[in-house]
Amino acid sequence: MHVCIDIQSAVARLSGVGRYTKELVEHLLATAGTDRFSLFCFDFKRQGRPFDVAGADLHVNRLLPGRLVRKGWTTIGFPPFDWLAPRADVYHFPNFVRPPLSEGKSVVTIHDLAFLRYPETLEEGNRRFLASQVGPTVAGADALIVPSGTIAEELEAAYPAARGKIHAIWLGIGDAMCLPTAAQIEASRKALGLAGPYLLVVGTLEPRKNAVFAVEVFERLKRFDGELVLAGMAGWKFAPILERIRASPMAARIRHLRYVDWDLLPGLYGGAELFVFPSLYEGFGFPPLEAMAAGTPVISSAGGSLAEVLGDAAVVMRGFDVEAWVEQVDRLLEDSGLRADLRSRGQVRVRAFSWRETARRTLDVYRGVL
């Protein structure tokens, strides 16, 4: 079996989709045996960082601007992807949309339906693109991969043509994201300038992550004298979020760290008193699982797939009543026994999420469409 994977989402700084693509490819190559893999992307400006994996053939198209080609795909359905990429038995498109194909089977990963469920939280051009392309993608794909049972149900309800094509496959937690040592925690604290206790929120600064709600909860805490740390790059509509932080009466105790190096993340997670995740909607939700892996108690919304993914290993809040969240955060901060119980449950829960298993089940999907 020859599989060609579109790795375009993983050639720059890794977003959630890019990270999924890179981890999947690396673990597929470690799992696949005699199957052949090709990786394809555009890099017309020579500014990307296409990753190369031993055992896969990397094909980088530097002759054509990827943006121009994608415009052709969405407007006139031309040129076929397989005219530019290597011919293969199966093509996997990990980033929501299936471009035109002249031959071969296609598998598409659809990570969430935020463009339908929370359209106001997306950049308008991106929302319109997904709204126009996901329907034809569902109709044309031979198989659809989603990261949770919750998204599988949403996808089938929104697109009846998806029925019988959907495969819900949980994502993984990387081996590097594990319980940090005291030395790792201290090194992260020193590198990031964190001296005292802190509550942690990790995620891109954009409306869907709901960082302003975390600020509102923090402002009302009665007996916590530490900091609120927001770690994540500025995303769509970030300016009003930063303005709200600056206007907070607790602004002096709110830190925005922007990008945090991967090597510092386990220590950053592990040093927090609590991990707070009030996201409106997630297709999967890496950050709270990473916090669990690092031994930090989690309080999270139930948005999207979060209740399914976190199970009973976190305090899961159904709704966004500020006072209800304040009450639970205060309770967690005061109850060391409850925090210890959540740490223990979290360590067990994260064992269910393995990139090796994600890759194995994805291989089964490829073989199934053939």
Could you please report the per-residue DSSP string of 97-144? Answer: -PPP-SSSEEEEE----HHHHSGGGS-HHHHHHHHHHHHHHHHH-SEE
pLDDT of 47 reads 72
pTM of this structure: 0.94
Q: What is the pLDDT of residue 354?
A: 95
What are the structure tokens assigned to 94, written together? 């990990």
Q: CATH 3.40.50.2000 in the chain, residues? A: 2-172+354-369, 182-352
Answer for the pair 198, 272: CB distance below 8 angstroms, yes or no: yes
Please state whether the peptide bond connecting residue 160 to the residue before it is cis, i.e. omega within 30 degrees of 0. Answer: no
β-pairing, 56-61 with 90-93?
A: unpaired
> How is domain 182-352 classified at the architecture level of CATH?
3-Layer(aba) Sandwich (3.40)
Low-confidence stretches of the chain (pLDDT < 70) are 13-14
**What pLDDT is stored for residue 273 in this prediction?**
98
- Could you give the CA distance from residue 45 to residue 64 in angstroms, rounded to a whole number? 9
Closest CA to 212 of 268, 173, 254: 254
Q: What is the CATH number of domain 2-172+354-369?
A: 3.40.50.2000
Nearest residue to 39 (alpha-carbon basis) of 30, 24, 169, 130 = 24
pLDDT at 115: 96
CA distance 349 to 129: 36
Strands in 136-176 per DSSP E: 143-146, 166-168
- How confident is the model at residue 106, as a pLDDT? 98
Q: Which of 197, 131, 183, 181 is nearest to 158 (CA)?
A: 131
